[in-house]
Structure 1
Amino acid sequence: METAENGTDDLHRSLLRQHKENHFTAGKTVRDIILGVSDGLTVPFALAAGLSGADASSSIVLTAGIAEVAAGAISMGLGGYLAAKSEADHYMRELRREEEEIIAVPDTEAAEIAEILADYGIEPDEYAPVVNALRRKPQAWLDFMMKFELGLEKPDPRRALQSAFTIAVAYVIGGLVPLSPYMFISSAQKAVSASVVITLAALLIFGYAKGYFTDNKPFQSAFQTALIGALASAAAFGMAKVVQSS
């Protein structure tokens, strides 16, 4: 009997080694990059357009833009750090609460396992051995409840710092794109035209990539991303003109 079970386990392991999953697993990192680059492209772009609309010189636009990129990268990175840290803290609180419940009311928690499995269409005679097996393995029981009852995945302890760094770097990279023409063109009026072309092209490419990696209609995503950036910069430019003329 034991030989047959070992043979089955070997077969399962062999099949798993042969099967290659094509699922995309870097979702959180991509989310951080999207957050950083999208804001990095849009906010400095709108700021530069607004200052250009107020007839500021290229040097002033560039100085203000770099200051904004630095401040924005720090702010966005800190926001990413706090969000990831809050997520980790929430997981640990729920983990301790669930652990206490398993010790204090094990029968109730076992009934919850049965209810979860029943929701998947598993019959009582089929899930009873699973419930009993989990009750004999407290850590596996705890992991099961965290994932299937609460829907929480154990966070990576390095996630907070990685998120902060990724968002900040992505923001800087995105922010330098609309500011780059002001580094080489002394006239702000000419630089803003070049900035519009370069930034809209970058927004289209970024929007397409975002849609591609998130399986969300790349061409539609490219158009929407570019449209939002264009509207933001046009609003800033127009407002600067209105204020200047009043």
Structure 2
Amino acid sequence: MPTITLTSFLSNFTLGFADGLTVPFALTAGLSSLGNTRTVIYAGMAEICAGSISMGIGGYLAARPSSTSATSSSTSAEVEDGEKEQMSSSDGLLPPCHRCQEANEVEETKDSPIVAGLAVSFGYLLGGILPLFPYFFVGMENVHVGLAWSFGVCVVALFLFGFGKDFILTRNDKGVGGEDVGKRRVRRAVWEGVEMALLGSVAAVAAVLCVKAFEGLV
């Protein structure tokens, strides 16, 4: 029976959110060289719509159980039933069931494919809107100002999201000995936020450098 957990939801959401920040930013960075804010907005919105749908479908298909898993589960169930019959017909001494553990592992619950797909899709949609948002507030010819603000928004959003995600997931951390759990959670969350911001910045800077490298060739 598919289940929904906060950890799995945030994991799928993070996948879509990270791609939603970097891919549309790379697109808007490239289109910024054309010098027209309207072109950046139109193309960016089209990419976000298509990308969120595509990522959502990918998340749904990835979470959906495969035919191989179904076959393995059925086979394990048959083996377990056979062993139970043998045990019931024995002299009362129950032999060790080596396959029971395997059957239980196969029967572990999976994430809901629909929820997984929606989490990835929503993450991509939200992440994609953020780098595009500043372009709505700059003039038609101030596209480079929009690009600068877009970069800043991406870095801040990545940090805040990384911090919040780690802080939420470690809310049940009990700590060790007399350790201050609150401070340790904050330190870990800050590092997670910095790490996400740095990785996202690398992708954003790479996009801008690619645009600059090919700007004079076309």
TM-score, scaled relative to structure 1: 0.68
Label 1:112 to 1:39 Cα distance change in 2 as closer, same or farther (>3 A): farther
Shift of 1:97: 0.5
Shift of 1:55: 3.4
Q: Contact 1:49 / 1:237 at 8 angstroms: preserved in 2?
A: yes
Matching of residue 188 in structure 1 with residue 167 in structure 2: no
Matching of residue 242 in structure 1 with residue 197 in structure 2: no
What is the number of residues matched between the two proteins?
188
Q: Deviations over 1:156-180 (max 9, x none)?
A: 6xx1111111211121111100000
Aligned to 1:37: 17
Aligned to 2:29: 49
Matches of 2:143 and 2:96, distance apart in 1: 65
CA RMSD of aligned residues (A): 2.5
Aligned to 1:204: 159
SS at match of 1:155: coil
SS at match of 2:34: coil
What letter corresponds to residue 47 of structure 1 in structure 2? L
Matching of residue 225 in structure 1 with residue 196 in structure 2: yes
- Structure 2 unmatched ranges of 5 or more: 88-93, 171-184
Q: Contact 1:91 / 1:152 at 8 angstroms: preserved in 2?
A: no
Q: Contact 2:73 / 2:106 at 8 angstroms: preserved in 1?
A: no
SS at match of 1:86: coil
What letter corresponds to residue 32 of structure 1 in structure 2? N
- Among residues 68, 76, 101, which one is paired with 2:55 in the alignment? 76
Write out aligned runs for 1:127-146 (5 A). 145-146=102-103
Looking at CA atoms only, which structure, 1 or 2, has the larger radius of gyration?
1
Matches of 2:64 and 2:204, distance apart in 1: 33
TM-score, scaled relative to structure 2: 0.76
Percent identity reads 30
What letter corresponds to residue 200 of structure 1 in structure 2? V
Shift of 1:212: 2.0
Matches of 2:74 and 2:132, distance apart in 1: 49
Write out aligned runs for 1:52-71 (5 A). 52=32, 54-71=33-50
- Structure 1 unmatched ranges of 5 or more: 1-24, 117-140
